[in-house]
Amino acid sequence: MSLDELQKIQQGYTEVSQYYDTSHPKTHKLFCVGNTFRFRRDAIKNLDIKCGDTVIDLACGSGLNFSLLEVVVGNEGKVIGVDITQAMLDKAKQLWELQKNLLRNYLRSLI
């Protein structure tokens, strides 16, 4: 792959990063929560990941696998996201922070 081709790919993902998961017509059907959650969950179940492992999610995109992976690796493990664009990594960080806050608020509501 040439540097020019790589830069075009980066530019494309940077442009769609803000609405990658939900509203972009090319990706909406792929990333709807119900179907994708089951697919992602089943894929992760088939990996040989154990509590305490470090998992590298290559081409992590917006980080949709992070919460599922974190459940498997537990507090002793680590999930590392790698992507071709900073915009997607930023999106992944935003999603992760949102998920952590939602979980924290849910747990607080139980007390």
Q: pLDDT tens digit string along 31-89?
A: 445 566 788 888 999 999 999 999 999 999 888 888 889 889 998 999 999 999 999 99
- Tell me, what's the pLDDT at 25? 47
Q: Please tell me the distance from the alpha carbon of residue 25 to that of residue 65, in angstroms, as a whole number.
A: 21
> Which of 13, 19, 8 is closest to 59 using CA atoms?
13
> Which of 67, 72, 74 is closest to 95 using CA atoms?
67
- Tell me, what's the pLDDT at 86? 93
- Tell me, what's the pLDDT at 28? 46
Tokens 């790698």 belong to which residue?
82
The pTM of this model reads 0.73
With the C-alpha atoms ordered 27, 64, 98, 9, is the resulting torsion angle positive or negative? negative
Tokens at 23, concatenated: 């509203």
pLDDT band at 24, cuts 50/70/90? very low
